[in-house]
Amino acid sequence: MATFGLRGKSLLALLLACLLALVPAALIGWLALQSIHAHFGDGYARNATLLNREKIRAPISRELALSLRLADSEVTRQWLLDEADEAKRELFFIEAEGYRKDFRDHAYFIGSVSSQGYYFNSDDEPLNQQPRYILDANKAADSWFFSTLRDTELYNINVDFNPTLNTTKVWFNILVNDHDGTTIGLAGSGLDLSDFVRDFIASDVPGVSPMIFDQNGAIQAHQNADLIALNSGADANAQEQFSLFGMLADEAQRNEVRSAMLRALAEPDSVVTLRVTLDGEPQLLALSYLPELGWFVANGVDLDSAQVIDSQWLLPILFALGGLILVLMLLFALAIERLLLNPLRQLKRSAQAMAAGRYDVQMPAARDDEIGELNTAFGIMANKVRHHTLELEQRVQERTSELEQANQEMANAQKKIGDSIDYASLIQRSILPDRELVSALGEHHAVLWRPRDVVGGDFYVFRNEGQHCLLGVVDCAGHGVPGALMTMLAHAALDQAISDCGMLDPAGVLQRTDQIIRKMLSDAPEYKALATNMDVGLAYVNLDQREVIFAGAKIALYYSDGERVDLIPGAKRALGDKRQTQYVNQSVALKSGRTFYLSTDGFLDQAGGENGFGFGNSRFADMLVQHARLPLEQQSDAFSDTLAVYQGDYAQRDDITLLCFRFD
């Protein structure tokens, strides 16, 4: 970790002092800026809403006025009263063609109540004096016509998709009434919705979402076309998903928006603002009412995203403040260098010379300040160091001599301990029946014996009488020297038990060994405090009857023919355990090609792999199946290689013993 010198620490202290002074000022400035931001944000939302309202009022009012004139024309009225009259038809379409050229989209429509014919002309096709189709009250696509006739007093404006014409427009639906007030048709024009949104609603200002909605909250225009409530002007039952109210967070906000709409209705030229959450985002909603259209023009402004304040003036202030702090730090650094650091460097050079063993260095000139006091104290310290150094050198020589002698004694003791352990290893290996196994079984057996230390707590046994033999593995508690000493007791106890019970009763041998071990150790005061238990697995092989009789204490007998692996589990308690148990004999056929395995838990518990998990029973079983048909010596080598690959760089956790035999 990098360290700061005195200069760095002084500059850092100055910087921290400046920052501490700036924190309250920055907090006050931030609060003031937030207030200004909120004020300007409110003004920005109001101005944007008024601007959008005026952008929309003129073209929509013009289209509405033209549509009203077309619907109120006497020529239109006379033709709808007598559609079959060719002269009236010709006169109407001549006059309507003049209106069509004045409409923004150069298109108009008219629907007849008597014939229910729907007429539509635009620039896209030649003039057509015949109905495009016949309106049907049972069709959902024509519901706008009949709902307008039923629910509208003079006109409505709505957004609708006409599947026949394949157009989505802002439609001006004007009732055509006879002189007696009877409705005889519906006429008007439309603005293409995409053009309308692009020209009057679309906004490229970040954080600003313009929209138009009616008095029911149904959205008539929005940058997101999926939110527009089609045909809502003709049918007041707009779905909530196409309504402004559906975008609000809760009912409380809906009620606030309804109140704001009432205030805007009461003062059409005003703009009402309120804080709401639209589609999960906090926004400032500004709305104004257009009485000519019966619409509300609104803007949702995200004050965090919208550029409501010109922030260019902030950068010069920040740069000026940073420059001032930099100048202060430079002046402070020069003062520290001259008044403090230079004298300290001279004192440092004197200290380095003393550290190199030169005590006759010249001390800095005397000064009447704290630095001068430090120089004086340093000179006194130098004299004491010189005196103490001489004493220490003498003491070091004495201690070095004593330490060399102690190291020599420790090396001698370590050699004796190493020789003793090697001798113990030789003794332990002498109890292993390697010669007997090779002489009696030869290639019918293989042993993998790997103590964790020079000596260990695992060993294996073998007894042979003609066509009968007893094989077994033993895992004593502990490792190293304690484990090796336990193997001596365990080996003696097993010898006595086999002599008492005979080979053909492995369970009896285990039971008798347990009794002997408990009797050997019961008088020792540490018996209950120390682990003296042992895991044992014994397999009696009867070659005459081709049978294996097994009994185990926490060790199982595995056997495999290369196709599958089976096992005979041992008892759940070890010999010498705190609680005694009964051990039982279990038998399995000695079939040709079947290999038997006895293993201590050191193999199964060995850590390895990517995560350091134990080797495990399933991986052990897969290994046995894979190699069960090989000669036993090759199996032992394969098991050793498999374990080494799995173990990797992990240390050996326990003593490992694996005894396998097969009689074909």
Asked if residue 352 belongs to a domain, the reply is no
pLDDT band at 73 (very low <50, low <70, confident <90, very high): very high
Angle at 556 between CA 555 and CA 560, to 5 degrees: 150
pLDDT band at 110 (very low <50, low <70, confident <90, very high): very high
Which residue among 285, 317, 349 closes a domain?
317
pLDDT (tens digit per residue) in 372-412: 777 777 777 777 777 777 778 788 888 888 888 888 888 77
- Alpha-carbon distance of 512 to 497, in angstroms, equals 5
Residue 84 CB partners (closer than 8 Å, separation 6+): none
451 and 596 within one domain: yes
439 and 312 within one domain: no
Give me the pLDDT at residue 1, please.
43
Q: How far apart are the first and last CA of the chain?
A: 70
Q: Per-residue pLDDT for 124 more than 60?
A: yes
Number of domains in the chain: 2
Asked if residue 185 belongs to a domain, the reply is yes
pLDDT (tens digit per residue) in 594-625: 999 999 999 999 999 999 999 999 999 999 99
* Average pLDDT for the chain: 83
Q: Per-residue pLDDT for 331 more than 90?
A: no
| Ramachandran area for residue 410 (φ above 0: left; ψ -120 to 50: alpha; else beta) | alpha
Asked if residue 130 belongs to a domain, the reply is yes
pLDDT band at 315 (very low <50, low <70, confident <90, very high): low
**373-381 long-range CB contacts below 8 Å, 24 or more apart?**
374/347, 375/343, 375/347, 378/347, 378/350, 378/351
Which residue among 265, 283, 317 closes a domain?
317
Cβ proximity of 604 and 620 under 8 Å: yes
**104-107 long-range CB contacts below 8 Å, 24 or more apart?**
104/59, 104/62, 104/63, 104/189, 104/191, 105/169, 105/189, 105/190, 105/191, 105/192, 105/195, 107/189, 107/190
H or E element in which residue 77 lies: helix 74-81
**Relative orientation angle of helices 74-81 and 6-72, to the nearest 10 degrees:** 60
311 and 436 within one domain: no
442 and 307 within one domain: no
Q: What is the CATH number of the domain that holds 191?
A: 3.30.450.20
Asked if residue 390 belongs to a domain, the reply is no
Asked if residue 59 belongs to a domain, the reply is yes
Give me the pLDDT at residue 2, please.
47
Q: Which residues pair with 459 in a beta bridge?
A: 474
254 and 105 within one domain: yes
Section 83-102 average pLDDT:
92
Q: Per-residue pLDDT for 29 more than 80?
A: no
Q: What is the CATH number of the domain that holds 594?
A: 3.60.40.10
- Alpha-carbon distance of 362 to 563, in angstroms, equals 91
Q: Which two tokens stand for residue 137?
A: 């009250």
Residue 449 CB partners (closer than 8 Å, separation 6+): 432, 458, 459, 460, 656, 657, 658
Q: Which of 618, 600, 598 is nearest to 609 (CA)?
A: 618
- Domain assignment of residue 599, given as a range: 432-661
Asked if residue 366 belongs to a domain, the reply is no
Q: Per-residue pLDDT for 86 more than 80?
A: yes
Angle at 550 between CA 548 and CA 551, to 5 degrees: 170
Q: Which two tokens stand for residue 385?
A: 């160091």
* Radius of gyration of the CA atoms of the chain, in A: 51
Cβ proximity of 446 and 633 under 8 Å: yes
Cβ proximity of 459 and 491 under 8 Å: yes
Give me the pLDDT at residue 163, please.
66
440 and 306 within one domain: no
286 and 142 within one domain: yes
Section 86-90 average pLDDT:
93
Residue 406 CB partners (closer than 8 Å, separation 6+): none
DSSP secondary structure, 196-208, as one string: HIIIII---STTE
pLDDT band at 361 (very low <50, low <70, confident <90, very high): low
Decide which of 12 and 502 is more confident.
502
- Alpha-carbon distance of 575 to 581, in angstroms, equals 9
Percent of the chain whose predicted confidence (pLDDT) is above 70 = 83
Which residue among 317, 334, 361 closes a domain?
317
Residue 102 burial by Cβ neighbours in a 10 Å radius (0-12, 13-18, 19+): middle
- Alpha-carbon distance of 452 to 480, in angstroms, equals 7
Q: At which residue do the structure tokens 């001390």 appear?
A: 363
Asked if residue 128 belongs to a domain, the reply is yes
209 and 66 within one domain: yes
DSSP at 225: G
Q: Which two tokens stand for residue 535?
A: 């895991």
- Alpha-carbon distance of 553 to 126, in angstroms, equals 103
Angle at 656 between CA 650 and CA 660, to 5 degrees: 130
Asked if residue 613 belongs to a domain, the reply is yes
Give me the pLDDT at residue 185, please.
94
H or E element in which residue 539 lies: strand 534-542
Decide which of 80 and 239 is more confident.
80
Q: At which residue do the structure tokens 């709902």 appear?
A: 147
pLDDT band at 367 (very low <50, low <70, confident <90, very high): low
